[in-house]
Amino acid sequence: MITVSALNALSRVRHAYFTRGGGQSQGVYATNNCGFSSQDDPAIVQRNRLRSVERMEMPPETLVTVAQQHTTEVLVADGPWPQDKLPVADGIVTTKPRLVLGVLTADCAPVLMADGKAGVVAAIHAGWRGALNGILANGVARMVDLGARPDRIVAGIGPCIGQRSYEVGPEFPGMFMEQDEDNGVFFAAARREGHFMFDLPGFVAKQLARAGVREIMPTPCDTCREEARFFSNRRATLRGEPDYGRQLSAIALER
């Protein structure tokens, strides 16, 4: 698993960006697939999830996830929801100690945030659509509702697709530049005429900064290129593979 030093420096916070290694899944899901939305064996996925949380030295039965659909919805959690009744959302916030907040990704950016002084943590799933539409600002606002201060929040941007791997079509830049002309800086010309390479982690960092977060630490990873370490939707699509695994990112407060 991967951690960032800025979050490690908070004494009451534990977090982890898990890689695809160390699980029990096979084939395209090898080995630590934590996504029930894949076609992997649900029993194996559950074991992978439980083992991952145990590696954080947290109670595995307290893992909280949601039905991610690239929304801007951020929910406050007091306990896990039943797996067959997960609410639709792409962010979770809590003040409850030893409740593990988790998001699943396979190229999108997993963002873990904490205000250690206020005792508030959050886990956000940020793809391009959610990031553009305000999921990160909503996450910060939910944390503030629970007592956090934006200037005290520490944010880690976990492994996601890197700019050199993220080719997008000609319609993409316009959507972003309608929001802010300066967003053009996150697009570089691709080899294919009229296409662009999009900097997702850079755009996520900007949205966090606009929401008042001062300490933002990305991880220098590219899920698409680093096959041995990460699952990737883009890589699976380019290869024509039938499915792909999902890696878990999680954060929790200690007592």
pLDDT in tens, 101-160: 999 999 999 999 999 999 999 999 999 999 999 999 999 999 999 999 999 999 999 999
The domain segmentation of the chain, as residue ranges, is 5-162+216-253
CATH of region 5-162+216-253: 3.60.140.10
Mean local confidence (pLDDT), 52-78: 97
pTM of the model: 0.98
Alpha-carbon separation of residue 122 from 22, 172, 177 (angstroms): 25, 28, 28
pLDDT in tens, 62-73: 999 999 999 999
Nearest CA to 92 out of 156, 160, 143 is that of 143
pLDDT in tens, 221-234: 999 999 999 999 99
Say how far apart CA 15 and CA 55 lie, in whole Å.
Answer: 10
